[in-house]
Amino acid sequence: MKTINIFGVTGSVGLSSVKVLKQHQDKFSVNAITGGNNVELLAKLAVELNAKYAVIANETKFETLKSLLSGTDIKIDCGKGGLLRAAEQEVDICLAAIVGYAGLKPTMRSLKYAKRVALANKECLVAAGELFIAEAKKHGCEILPVDSEHSAMFQCLQGSQNKQMEKILLTASGGPFRRYTMDEMRHITLKQALKHPNWNMGAKITIDSATMMNKGNELIEAFYLFPVSLEQIEVVVHKQSIIHSMIQYCDGSIIAQLGAPEMGTAIAYAIGWPNRLELDFKRLDLFEIAELSFEKPDEKRFKCLSLSKYAVKQGGTCATVLNAANEVAVDAFLKNKISFLNIADICEETINKAQSKNIIVNASELNDICEVDTMARQIAMTLF
Ligand code: NDP
Ligand code: MG
């Protein structure tokens, strides 16, 4: 039996992981689960999964959690401190599926106490890539990717030597606006942006997919997870989302991983590796798919992608700034305060302003990242 913590259990990835775990109850024992606001779902899942601890991040929901779980022996906790205390429990695996920067501190803390972090919360690597990887190395914690593209890369690298890898081909669906003209993009509504053509995900990542910031984030994620330079990562728009990514080797051979657009397989691989867990999800029907297509991304219309590359080239906390600006902008877009194209503009302008204020630095500890994140958010908020 492996012990597992699930951070962000009430979200899209969290709930997909619950489906996987329910098919393998003989192999995993659930320790702590955490939610942000959805206290009813958290309590329900705690009982269903026979979890030992349930933590609600929003402290105002603590009394409700207490009454929902009274009469059970499930221990409860709340707030940012509660998330950190959950991270400090020694487990075999911590599935990190909180969305955004909010997940950085608890996930970083888990690197010390968990043997493996199954990482969905990609913003950890965007905001604090270097420190995050160094911390994992320091404690001998394995990071297994849950993001489907990075799971694909990891799967395609099995049985091979990293140094024989020539290039990563990072696939992208292109999102709902792949074929929109710049003029059409000026009139994109929130409702349109929240409708991803292939994937069913949380709100933030759905908007990130529409702006292609998600692909930019994944580029940064790949840069930190695998031994490659920025030039060795190529984004390939593949609208069907069937090939989850590919590795090109030094002999010209390209290995791809294919699957249906659902997260179960990647989650199962991250928690089961080096084994594959049996899953009863619907199998891919290649005859139904019939065709796979590929095209180059348009970085003029999807400026977020080029901003991510720029942030990697700049180094230091440039990607921390980008991540903070994007989180502020996406939140504003979700509240109908700004337009779709404003998101990329705010990201670009925040980086410019951060540079002129010299707040892009080399972070030597998590506190540096936190300070830069706070300052970048303040800048971004003045831009709308
Ligand atoms: P969701 O928005 O569906 O879920 C986010 C989870 O985080 C929920 O459990 C939510 O709690 C919790 N949460 C939100 N804010 C806080 C906070 N301040 N403190 C603590 N917990 C919080 O997101 P997704 O599941 O879509 O995404 C999770 C992560 O996985 C993201 O980083 C995303 O980029 C990544 N990812 C997602 C994929 C997908 O298919 N969805 C694919 C690949 C990567 P509650 O709902 O109770 O408020
Ligand atoms: Mg992905």
- Cα 53 to Cα 34: distance, rounded to the nearest angstrom: 8
Are 149 and 225 contacting, i.e. CB atoms less than 8 angstroms apart? no
pLDDT attached to residue 122: 98
Cβ 145 under 6 angstroms from ligand 1: no
pLDDT attached to residue 282: 86
pLDDT attached to residue 252: 97
The answer to whether domain 2-145 and domain 303-380 are alike in fold is no
pLDDT attached to residue 164: 96
Q: Tell if the pTM clears 0.85, that is, is over it.
A: yes
CATH superfamily of the domain spanning 2-145: NAD(P)-binding Rossmann-like Domain (3.40.50.720)
pLDDT attached to residue 317: 98
CATH class of 303-380: mainly alpha
28 CA to centre of ligand 2 in angstroms: 25
Cβ 55 under 6 angstroms from ligand 1: no
Residue 50, Cβ density class (10 Å: 0-12 exposed, 13-18 middle, ≥19 buried)? exposed
Atom 32, ligand 1: which residue's CA is nearest? Answer: 121
**Domain boundaries along the sequence of the chain:** 2-145, 151-259+284-289, 303-380
- As averages over each run of 10 residues, the pLDDT of the chain (384 residues) reads 98 98 97 98 98 98 98 98 98 98 98 98 98 98 98 97 95 97 97 92 97 98 98 98 98 97 96 97 93 98 98 98 98 98 98 96 96 98 98
Atom of ligand 1 nearest to the CA of 217: 34
367 vs 94, 122, 350, CA distance in Å?
Answer: 23, 19, 20
